């Protein structure tokens, strides 16, 4: 029977963990911090469990230099659950921003409207904007972004999903590389003469296909406009988080199915999209992340 020392393991994920880390984890399963009980036997509502989460957050915040207006959430449903949660949450943000704008503009331009009339005019305008302008941009560079874009199409309809790039078209049917940014067909922002997308989604490292973005894409850099003019960037970093420095401030959401490499799944989300408080934001994500 081979021992750990006999094995050289190159799996992309679950990844190889140092033996000392596993020894300390197995000790914690038997007797966590000399409490006489194992980690999985302590209540998940106990101060001890809360402390573990707080320490993990603090460590991640330090290691990734996470800005103060971001939160780190630990959730069920893994990476595939996030394919849906991202759509549910960020389409909600897009609609809410449009609703606020419509309400302000209609109220300012039409005097003497009752609350009910205002509501119905806002609803009418919102429905039109959703039908004509709601777009989600996906950079499909491997099997995981393909799955994520298919999930978005299933949830809100293929007409709202813009596959801005499909790497297979540039690589004889295989994913292989990230195509040149010049070939991407992103939904134009306000500054570029369009109405912008709800978000741009990409996978920083396509685990199965071995396609990694060398750096943050130039064309997704901030355009210095108002919230409508900016691109909200979502990145799946399931298989390369903590492998290099990331400027978290450039992203709206980074999510990780960390089961294979780091720990149970984590989520980093900017709080301010819809002017939500941290608590509201946490509640929102937690309650939309369990959809199939």
Ligand X SMILES: Cc1ncc(COP(=O)(O)O)c(C=O)c1O
Q: How far is CA 280 from CA 81, 116, 188, 284, in A?
A: 20, 27, 30, 6
Instruction: Report in angstroms how near the CB of residue 226 gets to ligand X at its nearest.
Output: 32
Residue 122 or 167: the one with the smaller Cβ distance to ligand X is 167
Give the one residue of 130, 242, 248, 259 binding ligand X; rule: CB under 6 A: 259
Give the one residue of 70, 94, 144, 251 binding ligand X; rule: CB under 6 A: 144
Instruction: Report in angstroms how near the CB of residue 213 gets to ligand X at its nearest.
Output: 12
Residue 239 binding ligand X, by CB under 6 A: yes
Give the one residue of 135, 236, 246, 273 binding ligand X; rule: CB under 6 A: 236
Ordered DSSP codes for 155-216: HH-GGGEEEEEEHHHHTTT---SPPPGGG--PPP-TTTTS---SEEEEESEETTTTEE-SSS
Number of residues that bind ligand X (CB under 6 A): 12
Residue 106 or 176: the one with the smaller Cβ distance to ligand X is 176
Residue 162 binding ligand X, by CB under 6 A: no
Instruction: Report in angstroms how near the CB of residue 184 gets to ligand X at its nearest.
Output: 20
Residue 252 binding ligand X, by CB under 6 A: no
Residue 140 or 274: the one with the smaller Cβ distance to ligand X is 140
Of the candidates 51, 52, 44, 2, which has an alpha carbon nearest to the alpha carbon of residue 25? 52
Residues 174-233 binding ligand X (CB under 6 A) are: 203, 207
Reduce the DSSP state of residue 222 to 3 states and report it. coil
> Which residues, 6+ apart, have CB-to-CB distance to 121 below 8 Å?
102, 106, 110, 113
Residue 143 binding ligand X, by CB under 6 A: no
Residue 149 binding ligand X, by CB under 6 A: no
CA diameter of the chain = 83
Alpha carbon distance 231, 192 (integer Å): 12
Give the one residue of 89, 141, 149, 257 binding ligand X; rule: CB under 6 A: 257
Give the one residue of 32, 42, 61, 80 binding ligand X; rule: CB under 6 A: 80
Residue 187 or 204: the one with the smaller Cβ distance to ligand X is 204
Q: Which letter does DSSP use for residue 139 in this model?
A: E
Instruction: Report in angstroms how near the CB of residue 237 gets to ligand X at its nearest.
Output: 8
Alpha carbon distance 95, 274 (integer Å): 10
Give the one residue of 78, 179, 217, 252 binding ligand X; rule: CB under 6 A: 78
The owner of tokens 């939160």 is 71
Output phi, psi for 261, to 5 deg.
-120, -40
CB half-sphere exposure, 125, CA atoms < 13 A: 18
Give the one residue of 197, 238, 268, 289 binding ligand X; rule: CB under 6 A: 238
Instruction: Report in angstroms how near the CB of residue 79 gets to ligand X at its nearest.
Output: 3
| Contact of 56 with 124, CB cutoff 8 Å | no
The owner of tokens 């909600």 is 92
Residue 79 binding ligand X, by CB under 6 A: yes
Residue 187 or 268: the one with the smaller Cβ distance to ligand X is 268
Specify the DSSP element, H or E, that contains 256.
Answer: strand 253-256
Where along the sequence are the contacts to ligand X (CB under 6 A)?
A: 13, 78-80, 144, 203, 207, 236, 238-239, 257, 259
């Amino acid at each position: 029977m081979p021992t750990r020392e006999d094995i050289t393991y190159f799996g992309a994920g679950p990844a190889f963990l140092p033996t000392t880390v596993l020894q300390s984890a197995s000790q914690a399963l038997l007797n966590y911090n000399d409490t006489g009980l194992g980690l999985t036997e302590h209540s998940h509502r106990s101060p001890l469990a809360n402390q573990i989460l707080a320490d993990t957050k603090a460590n991640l915040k330090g290691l990734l230099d996470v800005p103060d207006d971001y939160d780190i959430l630990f959730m069920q449903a893994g990476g595939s659950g996030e394919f849906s949660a991202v759509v549910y949450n960020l389409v909600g943000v897009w609609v809410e921003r449009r609703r606020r704008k419509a309400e302000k503009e209609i109220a300012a331009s039409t005097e003497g409207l009752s609350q009910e009339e205002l509501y119905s005019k806002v609803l009418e305008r919102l429905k039109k904007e959703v039908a004509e302008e709601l777009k989600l941009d996906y950079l499909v560079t491997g099997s995981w972004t393909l799955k994520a874009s298919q999930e978005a199409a299933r949830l809100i309809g293929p007409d709202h999903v813009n596959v801005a790039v499909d790497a297979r078209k540039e690589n004889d049917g295989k994913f292989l590389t990230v195509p040149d940014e010049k070939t991407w067909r992103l939904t134009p922002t306000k500054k570029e003469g369009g109405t912008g997308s709800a978000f741009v989604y990409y996978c920083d490292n396509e685990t199965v296909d071995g396609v990694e973005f060398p750096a943050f894409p130039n064309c997704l850099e901030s355009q210095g406009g108002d919230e409508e003019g900016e691109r909200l960037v979502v990145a799946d970093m399931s298989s390369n988080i903590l492998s290099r420095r990331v400027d978290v401030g450039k992203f709206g959401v980074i999510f990780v199915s960390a089961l294979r490499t780091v720990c149970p799944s984590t989520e980093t989300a900017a709080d301010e999209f819809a002017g939500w408080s941290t608590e509201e934001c946490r509640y929102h994500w937690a309650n939309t992340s369990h959809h199939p």
